[in-house]
Chains A and B, each alone.
Chain A
Amino acid sequence: MRMAELVMGLVMGVFSLYLMWKSAELPIGWIAGEGPGGGAWPFWLAAGMLVCCIAIVVRWAKRITPESRSEEVYMDKRTMRMFLLNAGSLAVMIGLFHIVGAYGAIPLFLIFYLRFMGGHSWRLTGTFAVLTPIVTFMFFEIALQKTLPKGFTEPLFLPIFDMIY
């Protein structure tokens, strides 16, 4: 935990510096007749972030916060596995939105999560994997008229849209 506290403080400090630099692409001072430059607001806020990160690192060095004194592991093996499986499968599903579209990615994600992570029966997994994309399609595409990404499956939906509209 102690090391994680330091690493997070340092990473966020570097990110603050980057944001300050990006903000400074626009004027950060006073422009006569116009007021503060376009970069002033984010620049000084990012500077505030940097000061906070310095304070976090100083407090870490002085062992003031509970995290900076903690000898606990930041993520044990089981937590790390759960984190990687959940965040990883979510990332893969989002990635698949670009390729097979929402209606291909959602059932694949559900099959992986329910069957292989949750150990549920094929019957339950299949029910969710079929019904969820149907409900999603009816709610978003028909009721809300918001088109979800379809990737290469786009042409398959054209007859359905022809039927509806």
Chain B
Amino acid sequence: MEILSLLLDGFAVAFEPLNLALIVFGCAVGLFIGAMPGLGSVNGVAILLPMTFLVPPTGAIIFLAAIYYGAMYGGAISSIMLGIPGASTAVATTFDGRPMAMKGDADKALIAAATASFVGGTISVILFTTIAPPLADVALTFGAPEIFALMLMAFATFVGLGGDDIPKTLFSIFIGLVFGAVGLDIVSGEPRLIIGGIPGFFHGINFLVLAIGIYGIAEMLWTIEVSKGDVMISQASVSVKRTLATMKELVGTWKTMVMGSVLGYFVGILPAAGATPGALMAYGIAKTGAKDPSSYGKGNINGVVAPESANNAASTGSMLPMLTLGIPGSPTTAILLGGMVIWGLEPGPMLFIEHKEFVWGLIASLYAANLFALVINIAFIPAFIWVLKLPFTILAPVIFILCVVGGFVPTMDMHDVWLMLVFGVVGYLMRKLDYPMAPAVLAIVLGPLAEPALRQSLLISSGSFSIFFTRPFASAIIVTAIILILLPVLKIIYEKIKKPAAA
């Protein structure tokens, strides 16, 4: 009952005129960003975060969360209309969404994607509402060792479940943490890692500089490289009659939607997993469990519904560890977390006590964002198609300008703009060699929180690392982290044992 009353209070915050306007605007902006090939929620949130200094902190985070949600909806639009995923989270939607569009059922695929996103979003927000408060209560008992252990586990998931090259993943984590340590030493106050003696490093490296560099500039350079060829836009004719017929057909897909939503939510909670693997797993399960698996990949509506419900549910799932534990569940929530720290809203269990209004306002805004994203998505299908027709030579310079100005505004220092360009260029060159970039962004956000947690833990234990193994919660988390780190090694050993046996 208490949760219900808190949620009602949250709705009062979310429905304040300014916040409501920000939800609607955020959803619309997110939908457009998500619909553009190569851009996803993380790019939108990174590039637009500096623009939110105009509104109060609660409104700013509600706006960014609405962009996150809208982009998850929007990703499906270019997957279906162009056959190019708006973001990696919508890759699985292409498998059946594009064949549906090629058959002349683009409107059907778009409505199915929007409805599945709505169901995924709603189920996951309900799960979030019920799980978040008890989890925050448990997290209240956490001290420095548990907090550090949690951060270690967040990084371990990238190693164990990320699926990328392990030395490159670890390198990305380490370099992000080192960049987070630049500036002044937190204890002695002495300058630390002032690279090249450049004074601009005295104020540290703002996480936004790295985030905009990677998700703004590097991403644009990457998109310019990969989208060399011409793309073919499908035609979509939307009518009330066809929409109602599609809705009827969608009733038959409820099992797939529920499966995708629950799976996506729990996969989304894991920092290295998130919406992309969640959507791919949901697609795989829907196909495996189908009566006619051969129809998948040829325009089966369930093939659109499964990944779309999962990727939206995952976006909500990734907010759970961010709000309750202070550990982001995805690169987008890592940037949201950084934004919250800027506004003095340090994520973690104390947020549920000290800033109740904000937390429940944000949760309530997710319910509202879900509904508005659905309505805007269906109502503005022609507008999204118009955006998709915009030449990239118009979008690219506008985004570059937003990146440059956005990189300058947080610190008002041109040094940061140059640094952002360097990160963007090096990030692009590294991405071409398959260095994962998400762990570095997560690390630069978590680094300044992880170092004091480690220092405090070691001070309590007089320098002994045994403290992480003697406290029940910390030891359980550390053991899980160690298992995750060893997972790829265990996989190799298992495969080596299996090979001779098979031979």
- Asked if A and B bind, the verdict is yes
B396 and A49 within 8 A (CB):
no
Task: For A143, list chain B residues within 8 Å (CB).
Answer: 54
CA distance A118 to B141 in the complex (A): 58
Of A8, A26, A53, which is within 8 A of B430 by CB? A8
Contact with B along A46-66 (1 / 0, CB 8 A): 101100110110010000011
CA distance A78 to B227 in the complex (A): 12
Least CB distance, B411 to chain A, in whole angstroms: 11
B380: CB under 8 A from chain A? no
- Dominant secondary structure of chain B at its interface with chain A: helix
**For residue B197, which residue of chain A has the nearest CB?**
A22
B397 and A45 within 8 A (CB):
no
Of A5, A34, A36, which is within 8 A of B433 by CB? A5
Of B54, B174, B397, B428, which is within 8 A of A49 by CB? B174
A56 and B171 within 8 A (CB):
yes
Least CB distance, A114 to chain B, in whole angstroms: 6
B375: CB under 8 A from chain A? no
A42: CB under 8 A from chain B? yes
B451: CB under 8 A from chain A? yes
B409 and A140 within 8 A (CB):
yes
Task: For A34, list chain B residues within 8 Å (CB).
Answer: 187
Of B195, B224, B394, B414, which is within 8 A of A97 by CB? B414
B404 and A93 within 8 A (CB):
yes
A94 and B455 within 8 A (CB):
no
Given known A147-B412, A149-B414, contact A117–B393 (CB-CB < 8 A): yes
B421: CB under 8 A from chain A? yes
- Dominant secondary structure of chain A at its interface with chain B: helix
A46 and B394 within 8 A (CB):
no
> Number of contact residues on B: which range applies?
35 or more
Interface residues of A in 90-130 (CB under 8 A from B): 90-91, 93-94, 97-98, 102, 106, 109-110, 113-114, 117-120, 124, 128
Task: For B458, list chain A residues within 8 Å (CB).
Answer: 35-36
Interface residues of A in 137-152 (CB under 8 A from B): 139-140, 143-144, 146-149
Question: How many residues of chain A are within 8 Å of chain B by beta carbon?
Answer: 67
B185: CB under 8 A from chain A? yes
CA distance A4 to B426 in the complex (A): 13
Task: For A98, list chain B residues within 8 Å (CB).
Answer: 414
Of A42, A106, A136, which is within 8 A of B193 by CB? A42
Chain B positions near chain A (C-beta within 8 angstroms)? 51, 53-54, 165, 167-168, 170-171, 174-175, 177-178, 181-182, 185, 187-188, 190, 192-195, 217, 220-221, 224-225, 228, 391, 393-394, 396-398, 400-401, 404-405, 408-409, 412, 414, 417-418, 421, 424-425, 428-430, 432-435, 451, 454-455, 458-459, 463
Chain A positions near chain B (C-beta within 8 angstroms)? 1, 4-5, 8, 12, 18-19, 22-23, 25-26, 30, 34-36, 38-39, 41-42, 45-46, 48-49, 52-53, 55-56, 59, 65-67, 74-75, 78-79, 82-83, 86-87, 90-91, 93-94, 97-98, 102, 106, 109-110, 113-114, 117-120, 124, 128, 132, 136, 139-140, 143-144, 146-149
Beyond A8-B429, A12-B171, A94-B404, 4 additional pairs, beta carbon < 8 A: A26-B185, A35-B458, A48-B170, A93-B401
What are the 10 A-B residue pairs with the smallest beta carbon separation, nearest first? A118-B393, A38-B185, A52-B171, A55-B167, A113-B397, A42-B181, A48-B174, A49-B174, A35-B459, A52-B167
